[in-house]
């Protein structure tokens, strides 16, 4: 039973264009959401997060949008750069029955940004 | 990833041997989480520890796996009598709040 779903295993985007990565969740008790970026043979790197009391958080080229009613969040990267090519993981946390801080991860979306 | 140390980076064990994975948190972080990533999968939570205490081990297999975070020294994930299915990347993360910062991982291969 997957509580955090990233339905697109891969995404290819042209350099300079917008990349939109999507994530859906099922547990309404999640109250904090994070995006991580991962290169091969490295650990995940924290990118950006959003609390459930907000619907948008922006940090440079990265913006996360949260739609609580739809249980959906998305990460926008604009403009996309070849160095953004990596696997992106969506993660959720909160007082859902697990310990506070225990992250539930999606399976990831592999982003390829072509020059 | 800066600051979270994991060693070894690669570990090869034969079936039946023991594997010990170490994680040194970022300075000032007292929360340690262990995750496992199987090929083509996301990271799966295993255990959450604070100094000398296991807070949540709901993701740990019932047998052969144990974890500790002593008062002094790194956190250790111990796998006894390893089997081929234990082959995976094991990541630890540390935090002082909601954001968790991950180490580079230990890739365990069981032959």
Name the percent of chain A in helix, strand, coil, to the closest 5.
5, 55, 45
Burial class, A33, CB count within 10 angstroms (exposed 0-12 / middle 13-18 / buried 19+): buried
Provide, as residue numbers in chain A, all residues whose Cβ is less than 8 Å from the Cβ of B31: 101
User: Which residue of chain B has the CA closest to A43?
Assistant: B104
Report how far residue B14's alpha carbon sits from residue B6's, in angstroms, rounded to the nearest whole number.
21
- Determine the Cα angle at A105 with ends B31 and B41, to 5°: 120
| pLDDT tens readout for residues A53-91 | 999 999 999 999 999 999 999 999 999 999 999 999 999
- A90: nearest Cα among A42, A40, A18, A26: A26
* Least confidently predicted of B39-53, B55-69, B82-96: B39-53
- The yes-or-no verdict on residue B97 having pLDDT over 80 is no
Report how far residue A12's alpha carbon sits from residue A18's, in angstroms, rounded to the nearest whole number.
11
**pLDDT top residue among B58 and B67:** B67
Chain Cα centroid distance, residue A33 = 8
Nearest-CA distance A44 → chain B (Å): 6
Give percent of chain A with pLDDT exceeding 70: 93
């Amino acid at each position: 039973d997957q509580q955090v779903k990233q339905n697109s295993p891969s995404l290819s985007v042209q350099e300079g264009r917008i990349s939109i990565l999507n994530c859906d969740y099922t547990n309404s008790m999640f109250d904090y959401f994070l995006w991580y970026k991962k290169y091969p043979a490295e650990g995940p790197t924290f990118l950006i997060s959003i609390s459930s009391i907000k619907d948008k958080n922006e940090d440079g080229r990265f913006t996360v949008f949260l739609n609580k009613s739809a249980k959906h969040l998305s990460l926008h990267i604009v403009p996309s750069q070849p160095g953004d090519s990596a696997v992106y993981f969506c993660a959720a946390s909160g007082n859902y029955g697990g310990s506070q801080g225990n992250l539930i991860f999606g399976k990831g979306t592999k982003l390829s940004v072509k020059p | 990833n800066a600051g979270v140390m994991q060693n070894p980076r690669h570990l090869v064990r034969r079936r039946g041997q023991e594997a010990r994975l170490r994680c040194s948190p970022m300075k000032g972080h007292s929360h340690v989480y262990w995750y496992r990533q199987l090929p083509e999968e996301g990271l799966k939570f295993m255990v959450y520890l604070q100094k000398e205490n296991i807070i949540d081990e709901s993701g740990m297999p019932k047998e052969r796996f144990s974890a500790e975070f002593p008062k002094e020294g790194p956190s250790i994930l111990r796998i006894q009598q390893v089997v081929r299915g234990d082959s995976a990347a094991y990541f630890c993360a540390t935090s002082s709040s909601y954001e968790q910062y991950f180490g580079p991982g230990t890739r365990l291969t069981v032959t």
